[in-house]
Amino acid sequence: MDEGPLPSEGTIRAARGIGGTAVVHEGRPLWRRSSACGNEMECLEVAVRADHVLTRDSKKSAASALHFTAPAWTGFLRAVSRGELERS
């Protein structure tokens, strides 16, 4: 799996958001894996960019990533943290 470049290969900065501080890498995507993976490593990977967020399936890391604007991603995280997306 491509973990992105070493820190010396791009610019890294911190961005405050819901749930703490995210590492924003200005070079190639720096993918992080969710801490809530299933037994078969069914994981969501996230790369935070300056103006958008990328997500992908860890089992299909070569496939296209989904792109979200920063406000859309923040809104999604807020809805999850408030329990607004719970199944009925």
**Domain ranges across the chain:** 7-81
**pTM (whole model) above 0.85:** no
Of 61, 59, 42, nearest in space to 4 by CA: 61
Question: pLDDT tens-digit profile of 48-88?
Answer: 887 889 888 887 776 778 989 989 988 998 998 999 988 76
Per-residue model confidence (pLDDT) at position 27: 66
The answer to whether residues 20 and 9 touch, using CB atoms and an 8 Å cutoff, is no
Give the mean model confidence (pLDDT) for residues 9-23.
Answer: 46
pLDDT value, residue 26: 59
CA 28, CA 3: separation in Å to the nearest integer? Answer: 9
